[in-house]
Chain A
Amino acid sequence: MTFTDVRRLELDADTADVALAMDEDAFRAFYDRTSGALWGYLSRISGDRQVADDLLQESYYRLLKCGMAFESEVHRRNYLYRIATNLVRDTKRGPRPVFDSGVEMADVPAPEGRASAEQRADVRRALGRMKPRERALLWLAYAHGSSHSEIADVLGLKTGSIKLLLFRARRKLAATLQR
């Protein structure tokens, strides 16, 4: 390989068209529709806002790089959530500031017409005691309104097991809230 060949290869690498799964306009529209909800999912499942910030971008990047042809917006969104779920699973962090701190609660303005600060603190504590998979199950079912098959697809579980897992997760959360 000559010096010219090496230079040519390097220049090719610099100017290479990057193969991403969506064009810019489609990506930006999809991102604007989904990023807020995905951030909420990531922050509640991981229990860490910083992790949510990091994993949000990583999730979209992996979606762009996956090279899959999606049948529909729902299919793409479910795949995005599956990526995000796997990233959370792979992230090992100690503290969980989203659920631990009452001080942080006071920093966030309460949504209007919602529960009192004390009730919200109870919910957070209860969610903090649950496993990430249980939180993911409940979040997808009740915050996103996902069907059992969608939940199974996102979490990599069998559709038939979702009903029982949700039942148990509901019981656990309700029991913790009732204490």
Chain B
Amino acid sequence: MNPQDPRDSEHSSSAALDETQIEAIVAEAIATEAALARSEAAPPSSAIVWWRAQMRARQEAAAAADRPISIVHGLAIACGVGLALSLIGTTLAGVRGSAGWLTEVYTSLSAAVASVDLTSRWVMLPMTAMLASIVIASIAAYIIFADE
């Protein structure tokens, strides 16, 4: 914009000569600085800015979608911990109440185990199957949750 620009009249005061001079000085100064700014300006390409905007918008959308998932995870963990604590409490109370009964059960179980022939295939087969399933379940759980 220069002092002769018709739009400039809006910026003129009604105006004594000194105001006109001031306007000319300011217009020239800003025009000089604007020309310098144009020569300095090296904005990134539109493709880069568009790509960055897309990436950022996706990240923000993912973060927004993750928020309720995190809340559900937190609630599930809190429920699990509460349940486990209540189970432990109930179990401890039961154990205290039936310590004598447990001692009897332990004694009879020890006697029963001592009488079992561990080399028998009726014992070895189920135990091997149980061990194998524990190992397979552990590996499967690791694979499923590894990318979490």
A152-171 interface bits toward B, Cβ cutoff 8 Å, 1 = contact, 0 = none: 00000000000100110011
B30 touches A142 (CB 8 A): yes
B13 touches A167 (CB 8 A): yes
Q: In the assembled complex, which residues on chain A have CB atoms less than 8 Å from the CB atom of B22?
A: 170-171, 174
A71-111 interface bits toward B, Cβ cutoff 8 Å, 1 = contact, 0 = none: 00000000000000000000000000000000000001111
User: Provided the pairs A12-B65, A18-B54, A141-B11 are in contact, do residues A32 and B46 lie with their beta carbons within 8 angstroms?
Assistant: yes
> Once the chains are docked, how many angstroms separate the CA of A20 from the CA of B11?
37
Question: Does B38 reach chain A (CB closer than 8 Å)?
Answer: yes
Across the interface, A39 reaches (CB within 8 A) one of B10, B11, B37, B68, namely B37
Q: How far does the Cβ of A166 sit from chain B's closest Cβ, in whole Å? A: 6
User: Provided the pairs A36-B43, A115-B32 are in contact, do residues A144 and B1 lie with their beta carbons within 8 angstroms?
Assistant: yes
A28-49 interface bits toward B, Cβ cutoff 8 Å, 1 = contact, 0 = none: 1001100111111101100001
Most A CB within 10 A of own CB, among B36, B50, B144: B36
* Chain B binding surface SS class: helix
Q: How far does the Cβ of B14 sit from chain A's closest Cβ, in whole Å? A: 10
User: Provided the pairs A10-B66, A27-B50 are in contact, do residues A143 and B41 lie with their beta carbons within 8 angstroms?
Assistant: no
B58 touches A145 (CB 8 A): no
A123 touches B32 (CB 8 A): yes
Interface size for B (C-beta < 8 A) is 50
Interface size for A (C-beta < 8 A) is 63
Q: Which residues of B contact A (CB under 8 A)?
A: 1, 5, 7-8, 10-11, 13, 22-23, 25-44, 46-47, 49-50, 52-54, 56-58, 61-62, 64-66, 68-69, 72-73, 76, 144
A-B pairs with the 10 shortest C-beta distances? A40-B37, A13-B65, A18-B57, A142-B30, A28-B46, A145-B1, A143-B34, A111-B35, A35-B43, A13-B62
